[in-house]
């Protein structure tokens, strides 16, 4: 639940400390939470509000942890800092600082969001999953320091918390490829088993799962023979999805990842997801690193043949659909996880490909809000390579929406 202090012009001049104090009391009275977070906005950072002192002052009165988070947007040039700030507050004031016991059957899984497919994967190893952070209760977060190990699904997202749990509480990180595709899942399970002393159970489970999925996987590979796909998501996640496509026998001559950093995207010796992908499944000729710039999609899709797209952000899915390509928007990022995840994605993609005719019809009947000049370009980075072209661009077409006209279907 979120409550705003609702700053006014007067507050920006004279300060809003009293508003913050009252908002904390309101949060306690209305919702009786087990913890209260204070998020510093850009405006309150500019006027220098002392949220740390207010949190320290109010905590004894309210009786629950009050956690100040310095998350104003201009504090960092890298978006992942927001995750680090949140985890720092959780580690500082919620996680049990002096654990008196170890839960040797508890493993932390740090992920952004999505269904918990991890419990069914790790139950054969005798492990319970402590799924952090967004879906966790106060008690589940608190017990993170008692776990036997921590596995993260993106070093950018979870690296700070995993490192802090290891350095401050002796909870080791799992240094392994992510469990996407057969080889990645094998390696992930074996790395966890080595830490928790369950190597025998892991090998038995891996062998049984290979046998279980083999018939269905063969059937899916036959269906997807000759098919190609393009993945457009964040970097480490894209590498995992391409691994799954490869297991299904789907070609991948192109990919678009939204960022790449050799440090942020591969924190451990065995967590270099791009290296793991290329060494296991081969090179990607048209591998593009770019932000979610929808206007580049027409040119990017000229580079390689594809039958569908796997996309993380719905805005891009809409544009791709209007260009004639069926898309699968990955709202639940854990669908592809593990051995069963390969089959889940396969079945979903069969339904996506069945929509091809619809998207082709859509393409013939709608227009995107880009000039004919831009749509005729072949280089998606033309404006970067030739910034002088911006001075001579033709006038943009009239995008005023009119009911019953073609422009009413415009999407971007």
Domain ranges of the chain: 9-75, 214-364
The neighbour count for residue 46, using CB atoms within 10 Å, is 11
Q: Report pLDDT digits (tens) over 77-132.
A: 766 788 889 999 999 999 999 998 899 999 999 988 889 999 999 999 999 999 99
- Do the beta carbons of residue 174 and residue 151 sit within 8 Å? yes
Angle between helices 235-247 and 338-353 (to 10 degrees): 80
The neighbour count for residue 263, using CB atoms within 10 Å, is 9
pLDDT at 264: 59
The neighbour count for residue 62, using CB atoms within 10 Å, is 16
pLDDT at 150: 96
Residue 33: phi and psi, rounded to 5, are -75, 165
CATH number for domain 214-364, candidates 3.10.20.30, 3.40.50.1980, 3.40.109.10, 2.40.50.100: 3.40.50.1980
- Cα–Cα distance between 158 and 130 in angstroms, integer? 14
- Cα–Cα distance between 12 and 14 in angstroms, integer? 6
Same fold, 9-75 and 214-364: yes
- Do the beta carbons of residue 246 and residue 323 sit within 8 Å? no
What value does the mean pLDDT of the chain take?
Answer: 88
Q: Report pLDDT digits (tens) over 51-77.
A: 999 999 999 999 999 999 998 888 777
Q: Which CATH class is domain 9-75?
A: alpha beta
Q: The tokens 């700053």 sit on which residue?
A: 7
| 401 band by pLDDT with thresholds 50, 70 and 90 | very low
- Cα–Cα distance between 86 and 141 in angstroms, integer? 12
Tokens representing 206 are 């891996």
Global pTM reads 0.85
pLDDT at 365: 92
Helix (H) or strand (E) segment spanning residue 60:
helix 51-62
């Amino acid at each position: 639940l979120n409550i705003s202090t609702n700053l006014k012009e007067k507050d920006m001049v004279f300060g809003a400390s009293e508003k913050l104090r009252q908002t904390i009391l309101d949060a306690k009275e209305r919702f009786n939470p087990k913890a209260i977070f204070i998020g510093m906005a850009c405006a309150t950072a500019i006027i220098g509000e002392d949220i740390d002192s207010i949190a320290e002052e109010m905590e004894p009165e309210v009786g629950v942890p009050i956690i100040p988070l310095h998350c104003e947007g201009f504090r960092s040039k890298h978006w992942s800092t927001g995750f680090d700030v949140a985890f720092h507050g959780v580690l500082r004031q919620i996680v049990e600082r002096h654990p008196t016991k170890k839960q040797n059957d508890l493993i932390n899984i740090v992920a952004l969001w999505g269904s918990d497919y991890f419990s069914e994967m790790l139950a054969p190893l005798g492990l319970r999953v402590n799924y952090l952070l967004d879906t966790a209760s106060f008690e589940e977060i608190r017990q993170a320091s008692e776990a036997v190990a921590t596995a993260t699904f993106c070093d950018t997202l979870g690296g700070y918390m995993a490192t802090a749990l290891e350095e401050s509480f002796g909870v080791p990180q799992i240094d392994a490829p992510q469990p996407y595709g057969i080889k990645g899942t094998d390696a992930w399970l074996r790395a966890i088993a080595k830490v928790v002393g369950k190597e025998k159970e892991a090998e038995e489970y891996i062998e049984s799962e290979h046998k279980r999925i083999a018939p269905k996987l063969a059937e899916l590979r036959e269906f997807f023979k000759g098919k190609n796909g393009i993945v457009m998501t964040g970097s480490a996640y894209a590498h995992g999805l391409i691994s799954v496509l490869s297991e299904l026998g789907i070609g991948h001559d192109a990919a678009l990842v939204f960022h790449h950093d050799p440090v942020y995207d591969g924190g451990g010796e065995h967590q270099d997801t791009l290296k793991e992908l290329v060494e296991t499944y081969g090179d990607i000729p048209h591998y593009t690193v770019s932000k979610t710039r929808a206007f580049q999609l027409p040119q990017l899709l000229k580079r390689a043949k594809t039958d569908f797209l796997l996309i993380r952000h719905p805005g891009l899915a809409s544009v791709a659909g209007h260009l004639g390509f069926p898309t699968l928007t990955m709202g639940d990022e854990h669908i592809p996880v593990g051995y069963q995840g390969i089959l889940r994605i396969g079945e979903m993609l069969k339904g996506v490909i069945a929509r091809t005719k619809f998207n082709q019809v859509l393409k013939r009947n709608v227009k995107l809000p880009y000039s004919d000049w831009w749509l005729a370009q072949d280089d998606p980075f033309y404006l970067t390579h030739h910034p002088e072209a911006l001075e001579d661009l033709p006038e943009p077409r009239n995008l005023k929406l009119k009911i019953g006209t073609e422009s009413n279907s415009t999407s971007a």
